[in-house]
Amino acid sequence: MNKDGTGHWLNRCLEEEKKRQSEVEGFRAVAGTLGTALSVQLLADLYRYELLFPEERRFIEMEQKAGASTIVRTGHAVSSGIVKSAYPIQQPAVKFWFDYHPNIVLSCTFDHRGDLDREFSTIVRVDAAPAFEAATIEEISEYLLKPILFDSLLDETK
């Protein structure tokens, strides 16, 4: 150990912990900024959906739990509330959250369409607000909502 104590294992652990905490703070800031922007866009899109399909909106539920958001379609007005998706075993649902490994990504999984599971990478620059690398907030909102709101159209348009 050095006379100033810098070689002591506790000092090394302290430096590693400070670095980890700094990374966590950065992750939370980026996830918070992008999460807020995405939430605003999702709510705006769901509001527009409600204007266009007033009877259907009541079958769309949103939930946030343990850092993850979930959007589920519980039924359809035209089918007396029974979900008739292209994949009838499960209700159309998407779960999405921010993850850090080693870059910040938005991960999303679809309960009824595993083929749509995806990660959206982020870009963090000093001179600009955080953003998604390959898509706009509007495009991600569409990616998350379309399989939930219009699941039966996905197979017809491929």
Q: pLDDT digits over 49-105, tens only?
A: 999 999 888 899 999 998 899 999 988 776 554 444 444 546 889 999 998 877 889
94 domain-assigned: yes
Please state, as a whole number, how many other Cβ atoms lie within 10 Å of the Cβ of residue 35: 18
113 domain-assigned: yes
2 domain-assigned: no
pLDDT band at 153 (very low <50, low <70, confident <90, very high): low
pLDDT above 60 for 155: no
- Asked if 94 contacts 148 with a C-beta cutoff of 8 angstroms, the reply is yes
30 domain-assigned: yes
58 domain-assigned: yes
pLDDT score at 90: 64
- Reading the block at residue 114, the tokens are 């595993």
83 Cβ contact list (under 8 Å, min separation 6) = 73, 74, 75, 76, 91, 92
Report, as an integer, the average pLDDT of 5-21.
86
CA 69 to chain centre: 7
Domain extent, residue 135, equals 9-157
138 domain-assigned: yes
The counts of H helices and E strands in the chain are 3, 6
pLDDT above 90 for 131: no
Measuring CA to CA, which residue among 8, 19, 39, 23 is closest to residue 106? 39
83 domain-assigned: yes
Number of domains in the chain: 1
1 domain-assigned: no
